[in-house]
């Protein structure tokens, strides 16, 4: 793994660490390394859940503007395409992903967090899509993922103004699922990811897909998709073990096979 994005596995959790000091700003190389790391997390059977973390002081402060300021669209495209592919893959993987956000998650950094299933943020974290202040808009899925998450009006507010919101406001508007003290962000995300990794992986993958369908295709088609996914779980290890444990009044033992 490249030096800008590091990947390690502990207790079934794949930790993707963004590491490009001082701001974890994305350039083409970092975006490409993130894409590779997400691919590896998806391919490895010993990874049941994923945590994306930028370190104790910053998650990621967007793109490297120094490199982009005088670039044309053809020069910028490879970078935004690579970051977009990484975000799309992160969203599509049949594994639960958690963004553990300390410090700033801005621009492309927030887009990476939005591609995760859950966002656990520090109480003093700052999240936003400030691209409008640079004369552009989000380009790696920010507008598209904000709308189903927080609604059209709030998405417009964040994107039109470029303002930043702290952890408690992010939670209030639905941008974050958990707010914790800054020193506890990674430990909290890792512990919950480990629980997901040890849980019913097939059922969690089905739940992730069903909820995604609800976001992009609500109504009868989404309901049909949910029912199909529900039925597909019968006969799986998850279903057999979960229901046997219930009847036997014991904790289920899903394990990696689940």
Name the token pair of 169.
């406001």
Structure tokens at 16: 């993707």
Q: What angle do CA 39, 177, 132 make, to 5 degrees?
A: 75
To the query of whether residue 131 is one of the catalytic residues in this protein, the response is: yes
**Among this protein's residues, is 108 annotated catalytic?**
yes
If DSSP states are collapsed to H, E and C, what string results for the chain?
CCCCEEEEEECCEEEEEECCCCCCCECHHHHHHHHHHHHHHHHCCCCCEEEEECCCCCCECCECHHHHCCCCHHHHHHHHHHHHHHHHHHHHCCCEEEEEECCEEECHHHHHHHHCCEEEEECCCEEECHHHHHCCCCCCCHHHHHHHHHCHHHHHHHHHHCCEEEHHHHHHHCCCCEEECHHHHHHHHHHHHHHHHCCCHHHHHHHHHHHHHHHHCCCHHHHHHHHHHHHHCCCCHHHHHHHHHHHCCCCCCCCCCC
User: One of 63, 113, 189, 198 is an active-site residue; which one?
Assistant: 63
Q: Is 35 considered catalytic here?
A: no
Question: How far apart (Å, rounded) are the C-alpha atoms in residues 133 and 60?
Answer: 17
Annotated catalytic residue within 62, 108, 141, 242: 108
Catalytic residue among 131, 192, 197, 242: 131
* From 25, 84, 111, 140, active-site residue: 111
Longest distance between any two alpha carbons in the chain, whole Å: 66
In whole angstroms, what is the distance from residue 8 CA to residue 111 CA? 22
Whether 75 is a known active-site residue: answer no
Residue 126 — φ and ψ, nearest 5°? Answer: -130, 125
Q: Which positions are catalytic?
A: 63, 108, 111, 131
């Amino acid at each position: 793994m490249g030096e800008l994005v590091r990947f390690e596995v502990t207790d079934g959790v794949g930790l993707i660490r963004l590491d490009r000091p001082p701001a974890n700003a994305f350039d083409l190389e970092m975006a490409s390394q993130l894409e590779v790391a997400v691919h590896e997390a998806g391919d490895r059977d010993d990874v049941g859940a994923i945590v994306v973390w930028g370190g104790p002081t910053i998650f990621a402060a967007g793109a490297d503007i120094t490199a982009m300021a005088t670039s044309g669209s053809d020069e910028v495209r490879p970078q935004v395409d690579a970051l977009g592919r990484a975000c799309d893959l992160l969203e599509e993987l049949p594994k639960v992903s958690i963004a553990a956000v300390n410090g700033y998650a801005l621009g492309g950094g927030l887009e990476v967090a939005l591609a995760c299933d859950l966002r656990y943020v520090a109480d003093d974290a700052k999240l936003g899509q400030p691209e409008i202040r640079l004369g552009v808009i989000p380009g790696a899925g920010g507008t598209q993922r904000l709308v189903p998450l927080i609604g059209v009006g709030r998405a417009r507010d964040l994107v039109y103004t470029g303002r930043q919101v702290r952890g408690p406001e992010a939670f209030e508007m639905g941008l974050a699922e958990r707010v914790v003290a800054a020193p506890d962000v990674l430990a909290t995300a890792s512990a919950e990811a480990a629980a997901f990794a040890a849980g019913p992986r097939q059922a969690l993958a089905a739940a992730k897909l069903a909820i995604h369908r609800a976001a992009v295709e609500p109504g009868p088609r989404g309901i049909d998709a949910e029912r199909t996914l529900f039925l597909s779980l019968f006969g799986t290890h998850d279903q057999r073990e979960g229901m046997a444990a219930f009847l036997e009044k014991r904790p289920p033992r899903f394990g990696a096979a689940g």
